[in-house]
Amino acid sequence: MNVLQRLQERFWFVPTVLSLAAFVLAQGLVALDRVLEDAVIPSWLGVLLFRVGENGSRDILGAVASSSLAVAGTTFSITMAVLALTSSSYGPRLVRNFMADRGNQVVLGVFVATFLYSLLVLRSIRVIGDPGDQEAEVFVPHLAVNGAVLLAVLNVGVLVYFIHHISDSIQIATLARQVRTDLRSTVERLYPTGIGHDQRVLDDADAEADLPDRLDEEGAPVTAGRPGYVQSVREEALLAAACEHDVLIALRTEPGRYVLDDTPLAIVYPPQRHGVDLQAAVRSAVVVADARSPYQDVAFAVQQLTEMAVRALSPGTNDPFTAVNALDDLAAGLTLLAARELPSAARYDDDGVLRVHAPRSSVVDLVSTVLDNMRWYAADAPAVMHAALQLVERLAGHARHRELRARLLTQVGLLREAFERAGHQEHDVKVFADHADRVTRVITAPSQTSVDPGRPTRPSS
């Protein structure tokens, strides 16, 4: 994640850009008004270009400026109150989706930009010459004032759009869709290809054999230097730094992990080549921030949907149907991940020397996290437990790795045991057992897509 991408996730970024555009537009139209002050205006343009004089222009600009800012403040205050209520039911981390929503940013930006534009044009209305002189001229930028009227009309349309947009965005289906989109985008970004320059197909054991035997004991650690969440890792920057300093950099963290000041981000080997420049390069490549981001953190998007399902099962909410929908959205992302070849953790240079070892999140661990939470919190909800079995069945149909199939088989047994101990009626227990048996047969059925989990591919750069 580069600087521009991080800026685009900030709520103030688009309003700032639009405010700068309003400043340029206001100054440009006022300058154009000065140039055309003595020009003859065609009759057809005079019909469109209203001239209301000094006082009228001041009144129009003042009304536009005050109303745009007042509407923006009132609208967003009400929105934040509604969002707070929604996040308390489905998770506070969903507030990030509101902050990163481009539509919300544009709406606020239009209101603020209109206020700034009107204020700048208003200050350009002035008396040229001695104010007490009756022959003194008054400069009124009529073109810019008409521009403010057009922006006011635009604000009305933006307000109508915002009411519709915010009403749609706080619906649970929309919230879940946003997280599902983040999950699928992260999978597409992280798992289609690897980095590095070696075109061999390597076994994980081969990569592990290239690592020094006492790497953690003899290597030099690069600590985080500050507490926070690992937000992203620029692996290409790590590879370039390792090649430049002729070292091996073995990551000891991944996006989504919380680190302390003295937590090792990576181990550098050989240790005698570890210096200030290399340490700075590693720290700049591993971004540590105060909050998690789904850009490289596939576990964060999975956690959001899992949290949505768990909160829906709380006694205060008691909404198992939302939990079922969350599991369906999880299936859309996890099946995509289960069907992908896992990129090798090893990154080699052009000479075949191991330079970076950067393991990524395992689909096995992600799936186990989801199903464990369903077993802990959803055992009393038959509909959700059946949805969990359906998730397992969908994953089994896409799983490429025998390790994942083995974990799915274990989870089916655990789900079945949890359901039987939840005190359901005998009929419900039998129906769930039959469903579990069907899923077990799907998992154990021969699959042509299943591959050895120990042979990830490394595509060419």
How far apart are the C-alpha atoms of 171 and 412, rounded to whole Å? 32
Q: Which helix (H) or strand (E) holds 251?
A: strand 248-251
Mean pLDDT calculated for residue range 116-126: 91
Spacing of C-alpha 413 from chain mean position: 34
Residue 453 confidence (pLDDT) above 80: no
pLDDT tens track for 172-186 = 788 888 888 888 888
At 7-25, the pLDDT tens digits run 666 778 889 999 999 999 9
* Per-position DSSP letters for 101-142, written without gaps between them: -HHHHHHHHHHHHHHHHHHHHHHT-EEES-TT-TT-EEE--H
The reply to whether the predicted model has a pTM over 0.95 is no
pLDDT score of 214 more than 90: no
In Å, how far from its chain's centre is CA 206? 35
Residues 53 and 95 in one domain: yes
Reduced to 3 states (helix: H, G, I; strand: E, B; else coil), residue 59 is helix
Q: What is the pLDDT of residue 372?
A: 95
Confidence of residue 39 (pLDDT cuts 50, 70, 90): low
pLDDT at 169: 78
DSSP three-state, residue 11: coil
Based on the fold, state whether residues 304 and 279 are members of the same structural domain.
Answer: no
Mean pLDDT of 225-247: 91
Question: 69, exposed or middle or buried, with CB in 10 Å at 0-12, 13-18, 19+?
Answer: middle
Please indicate, yes or no, if residue 396 is contained in any of the structural domains: yes
- Strand 286-289 relative to strand 228-233: parallel, antiparallel, unpaired? antiparallel
Average pLDDT, the chain: 83
E strand or H helix that includes residue 287: strand 286-289
Q: Name the DSSP class of 37.
A: T
**Tell me: the pLDDT tens digits for 407-440?**
999 999 999 999 999 999 999 999 999 999 999 9
CATH number of the domain where residue 277 is located: 3.90.1170.30
What is d(CA 340, CA 92) in angstroms, rounded to the nearest whole number?
31
Residue 332 domain-assigned (yes or no): yes
What pLDDT does residue 174 have? 82
356, 360, 359, 361: which is closest to 268 by C-alpha?
356
Q: Do 308 and 424 have their domain in common?
A: yes
Q: Are 271 and 215 in contact (CB under 8 A)?
A: no
Q: Could you tell me if residue 46 is inside a domain?
A: yes
Question: Tell me, what's the pLDDT at 209?
Answer: 65
Does one domain contain both 43 and 115? yes
Say whether pLDDT at 450 is over 90: no
pLDDT tens per residue, range 139-195 = 888 889 989 999 999 999 999 999 888 888 777 788 888 888 888 888 888 886 444
- Residue whose C-alpha is closest to residue 378's, from 362, 365, 391, 366: 391
Q: Is 127 left (phi over 0), alpha (psi -120 to 50) or beta?
A: beta
Q: Work out how many domains the chain is built from and give that number.
A: 3
Considering the domain boundaries, does residue 23 fall inside one?
A: yes
Chain segment 242-298, per-residue pLDDT in tens: 999 999 999 999 999 999 999 999 999 988 888 889 999 999 999 998 888 888 889
- pLDDT per position as a tens digit, 298-347: 999 899 899 989 988 988 778 899 999 999 999 999 999 888 877 778 88
Considering only residues 91 and 366, tell me which one the structure prediction assigns the higher pLDDT: 366
Residue 228 and residue 141 share a domain? no
Do 307 and 277 share a domain, yes or no?
no
Q: How far is CA 303 from CA 86, 306, 307, 310, 326, in A?
A: 17, 5, 6, 10, 11
Residue-number span of the structural domain to which 208 is assigned: 204-289
What is the per-residue DSSP string for 330-356? Answer: HHHHHHHHHTSPPPPSEEE-TTS-EEE
The first and second tokens of residue 426, run together, are: 């005998």
| Higher pLDDT among residues 15 and 210, named by residue | 15
253 and 314 part of one domain: no
Same domain as 148, residue 129: yes
